Chain A
Amino acid sequence: MIDTTASRAAGNGLAARAYGLLLRPEASVVVVSVALVIYFEIANQNFLTNANIQTISQFVAAPVIIACGEIMLLICREIDLSVGQVFALAPFLMENVHDVGVPVPLAIVAALLVCALIGLTIGLITIRLGIPSFITTLGMLFLITGLTLTISRGYPANTDGGPILTGIMGVWGYSEIVWALAIVAIMHIVLRHTRWGLHTTAVGGNIVAAAEAGIAINRIKIANFVLTSTLGGLCGLLEAFRVGSIDPLAGGSNIMFLGVASGVIGGTAIAGGAGTIIGGLVGGIMLGVLQDGFTLLGINAFTFDIVIGAAILIAMAANIHLARLRVGGAR
């Protein structure tokens, strides 16, 4: 009556559990990351120093924060291509609000509210007009770039704020990764332990079934667009404070694709219905370790992109294959 895959997965034996765990995409990415760390430490003794770990953490933080939003969107079969542009816009919003006399903390909140509004707009256009989010956010990508260049007149600016605020927001070396880990922890709970998360998975897995059960599909999707834009804005603010200056061409499609890649390497299904926040974290760590390791080894930037591209392709291919193994030939 029960097919073999089901009974195997349900087996109480420790071996069965270990087998199931190893098939999880997060586990394989962790194994690869640890192997990479060992390799880089042997190849270059400076890899596991405090200074370098701090650098890695800065490589990792931004893609992971972006990934937290994109993973939620990918799970419910949407995507936001414009999150990297919101990333660039947010610091300028903050500076403009601050320039008219609003204190920096309030200016940060105002900037994030505008980012949330952008997410709401993306969501409403996508849902109400029935346009695929790929197209909606492709349009928004150009629109927001133009907006940022107009507001900034194309010039970089400096961040303001006292030492404590700027410290918390990114000047202290580890603050960005602390933000990233806190967001990961919260979003993990949201995805696994709230109706919002469960219904996001249901909408992506079987939209007809979700509608049949009475789930408010549009509200779930719009909430995830708002979340992603807001996280993109927050991430842009953190980076701006860390660097101390605001660049109208910061972030962009590069940071967006790193976020999406982190999620997908960590096992989030591009076709929706499955994914984990922890996977996004380990995917981001793997990309950060690669990026930093190759930089330390002095590998040419052009070669580096080839290696990263290949690593992403291999990781995605491996995950699709592992997903097949997990479900087995049950159907």
Chain B
Amino acid sequence: MSEAGAEAIRAENIVKTFGTVTALNGVSMRVARGETLGILGDNGAGKSTLIKILTGFHQPDRGQVYVDGRPVSLGSVDEARGFGIECVYQDLALVNGLSIYHNMFLNREPLWGGPLKLLDHKTMRRRAREALDEIGVNIPSVELQVGQLSGGQRQAIAVARAVSSNNARILLLDEPLAAMGAREARLIIDLIDRLKARGDIAIVMIAHNYAQTLEICDRVMLIQHGEVTFESHAASTSAEELLDIVRREYRAARAG
């Protein structure tokens, strides 16, 4: 069911309007397990709306989402989680004042048995360590406060939490490389590569940097004004080609 290559999530003809504004006008996309799809586009093009529909935050006006080939209705973030869909937002999702292991188990903490329901810190530490080792995140101690980590490390912790504690199988990454130095970005790119190699996780990432997106992703699609205007395998396109398309749009916008 979850072998690489099998379709993980598919959206067909998604339409979403906010008042008089049409954010998405018939957008379709699909990602397979073990595959990474990069979604590119200008601010306000509709990328975030699409992601928010896939996480159950917004509901589409028209169109259908399929998980594992079955039609599903994602009425809430919790429902989407139930299907293994999890979104990692940059920097938003972690509590800086808490340790790494507390963050990784936030609101899913294992407890000691008995009537007192005390937190099982020991199990949390051990499982956090295992989870980080498993996906190759190199952190000296899970007891460090998240606030002491760099941006890249925090992002890695957030991804590790989604995949390990929450058992996400469809991972949505919102600008995972924004505002990151080259070395930090490398940390995340390597992490995404390892997750891809596992074969059971489908990754959708929103990004701005064409070169990085083409390096990380198997396929890319460009959303403009709520429509998919370009879609290609990463290997058969280039940053230049993508830039050309966007440049043409700018010229058209200026002329209009």
Contacts and interface: CB of A to CB of B under 8 A. Distances in A.
A205 interface: yes
Contacts of A194: 116-119
A9 interface: yes
Contact of A213 (B106, B119, B145): B106
Which 6 pairs, one residue from A and one from B, show the smallest C-beta to C-beta distance?
A205-B95, A205-B97, A10-B140, A213-B107, A273-B97, A10-B141
A189 B116 CA distance: 10
Interface string A2-23: 1101110110000000000000
Among B94, B97, B153, which residue has the most Cβ atoms of chain A within 10 A? B97
Contacts of B253: none
Contacts of B119: 193-195, 198
Interface in B139-165: 139-141, 143-145, 147-150, 153
B78 interface: yes
The A interface, classified by DSSP as helix, strand, loop or mixed, is: helix
Contacts of A208: 92-93
Interface in A261-311: 273-274
The B interface, classified by DSSP as helix, strand, loop or mixed, is: loop
Given A202-B95, A273-B96, A6 B106 contact: no
21 contacts: A1-B138, A1-B183, A2-B139, A10-B140, A10-B141, A10-B143, A10-B144, A189-B118, A195-B111, A198-B102, A198-B106, A202-B95, A202-B98, A204-B97, A206-B96, A209-B95, A210-B107, A212-B93, A214-B78, A214-B107, A328-B148
A5 B148 contact: yes
Given A201-B98, A202-B106, A9 B92 contact: no
Contacts of B79: none
A331 interface: yes
A6 B149 contact: yes
A97 B94 CA distance: 48
Contacts of A243: none
Interface of B: 78, 89, 92-98, 102, 106-109, 111, 116-119, 121, 138-141, 143-145, 147-150, 153, 183, 187
A183 B107 CA distance: 26
Nearest to B121: A193
B94 A206 contact: yes
Nearest to A206: B95
Contacts of A328: 148
A307 to B, nearest CB: 32
Contact of B106 (A1, A193, A210, A327): A210
Given A1-B183, A194-B118, A331 B147 contact: yes
Given A210-B106, A213-B108, 15 more contacts: A3-B149, A6-B149, A193-B121, A194-B119, A195-B109, A201-B98, A206-B92, A209-B92, A214-B107, A273-B95, A273-B97, A327-B145, A327-B148, A330-B149, A331-B147
Nearest to A75: B97
Contact of A205 (B89, B98, B116): B98
A330 B95 contact: no
A157 B11 CA distance: 73
A152 to B, nearest CB: 40
Contacts of A202: 95, 98, 102, 106
A21 B80 CA distance: 43
B51 to A, nearest CB: 14
A215 B118 contact: no
B184 to A, nearest CB: 9
Given A193-B118, A195-B117, A330-B150, A6 B140 contact: yes
A98 interface: no
Contacts of A212: 89, 92-93
A221 interface: no
A327 B96 CA distance: 10
A242 interface: no
Contacts of B93: 208-209, 212-213
A4 B190 CA distance: 22
A273 B107 CA distance: 16
A263 B107 CA distance: 26
A195 B116 CA distance: 11
A189 B119 CA distance: 10
A210 B147 contact: no
A330 B109 CA distance: 27
A330 B153 CA distance: 12
A204 B153 CA distance: 22
A213 B166 CA distance: 10
A331 B91 CA distance: 12
